[in-house]
Structure 1
Amino acid sequence: MRRTAARLLTGTAFAVAAAAGLAAPAYGTGGGTGSLEVSPSGAVPGDRVTVTTAACGDTGSAAGDAGAVGAGRFTLAPSAHKGEAIGQFRVPPSAQPGTYEIVAQCAADGRKVTGDLVVTLSPARQQVPPRGSVKTGVGGALGPDPVQTAAGVAALAVAAAGGTWLLHRRARGDGI
């Protein structure tokens, strides 16, 4: 009884510890004061993406990095909106679908802020499922020629009837 209670308490403690670990963010925004806004948050290869942040202060600029998606580095400069830095990059045509982390580092204090970009395929680049048959050399149940298919079915029917007739004669003792 004591072992069961100890296991129950240990399991509960592990569950609470795991829940506490899941509640904390896996990565932060550097100082926790501000974030990186990616617009549009969903893009297709070839799109221009705008990145803004208010984390770098009124006159702050930042160095952006979109290397995760393959776009490389870009600059965020102070914008017309007070306290915001803005920059742009283009999603390369070779970008694969997925979620990518975009990072900016403030020039004044080195604070890092992050945002996510979701890349999807454009309708023009959607993968098309294959159609038609594939020549594998194995053949199929229904070939391209209905006459050959009918002949194959007839041959199978004759073989089945002949085998049944031979088994029936053998069971009666007539011999072969």
Structure 2
Amino acid sequence: MRRTARLLTGTAFTAVTAALAAAPAYGGDPGSLSVYPFTAVPGSQVTVNTAGCGQRGTALGDAGAVGAGTFALAPSTHKGEAVGQFRVPPSAQPGTYEIVARCAEGDRQLKGDLMVALNAAHGQVQPRGSLKTGVGGALGPDPVQTAAGVAALAVAAAGGTWLLHRRARGDGI
């Protein structure tokens, strides 16, 4: 049994090692869209760049998901990268949005993510506190009612235990 387990474990380890060795190792994927900063607040400027459109490639970016519309990516001096910028609208809601760019040459589409966070400087804060739903909670706001409920449960538990004990002894009820 142990021999079979070792054989299966060794085979699985070899298969995983071979799969990882065959996978390409990229420092940066030339087919992706880099978004800086990854996390932005409403009203801030975001820079997008890619090396996926070729040495002198240009692209048309689309930040419509976050409400910023389209923007142009033009060739830059950094190793054949195309760079563009857009501003996150002040009305943008917190969340993760997909930014897309289409290369001018060819039919290539590149994607990247932008996370919009709350801006505490402009009064945007995460809500806190309770919500009045009408359902109520396990512990009410009145400590006297809570104590009375706990006492009633304790009396019911003690009475039930006493009755079960009597029945087990054969005394009846």
Partners of 2:30 and 2:50 within 8 A in 1 = no
CA distance 1:97–1:72, shift in 2 (3 Å): same
Deviation at 1:109, TM superposition (A): 0.9
Counterparts of 1:109 and 1:128, CA distance in 2: 46
Which amino acid is 1:126 matched to?
A: V
Give the share of equivalent positions with the same residue, in percent.
62
Which residue in the other structure is 1:154 paired with? none
SS at match of 1:69: coil
Which residue in the other structure is 1:40 paired with? 37
- Runs of 4+ in structure 1 deviating by more than 2 angstroms, as ranges, are 127-131
Which amino acid is 2:62 matched to?
A: D
Which residue in the other structure is 1:64 paired with? 61
TM-score (norm 2): 0.55
Uncovered stretches (5+) of structure 2, i.e. residues with no partner: 1-28, 133-140, 144-173
Counterparts of 1:73 and 1:43, CA distance in 2: 18
Which residue in the other structure is 2:12 paired with? none
Size of the alignment, in residue pairs? 106
Counterparts of 1:67 and 1:114, CA distance in 2: 13
Residue 54 of structure 1: which of 51, 54, 60 is its match? 51
SS at match of 1:108: coil
Which amino acid is 2:125 matched to?
A: Q
Deviation at 1:123, TM superposition (A): 1.7
Counterparts of 1:126 and 1:44, CA distance in 2: 12
Q: 1:82-161 counterparts in 2 under 5 A?
A: 82-124=79-121, 125-127=124-126, 129=128
Counterparts of 1:70 and 1:126, CA distance in 2: 21
Counterparts of 1:129 and 1:111, CA distance in 2: 44
Structure ID, larger Rg:
1
TM-score (norm 1): 0.55
Deviation at 1:77, TM superposition (A): 0.1
Uncovered stretches (5+) of structure 1, i.e. residues with no partner: 1-31, 135-139, 143-176
Counterparts of 1:99 and 1:52, CA distance in 2: 18
Deviation at 1:122, TM superposition (A): 1.1
User: RMSD over aligned Cα, in angstroms?
Assistant: 2.4
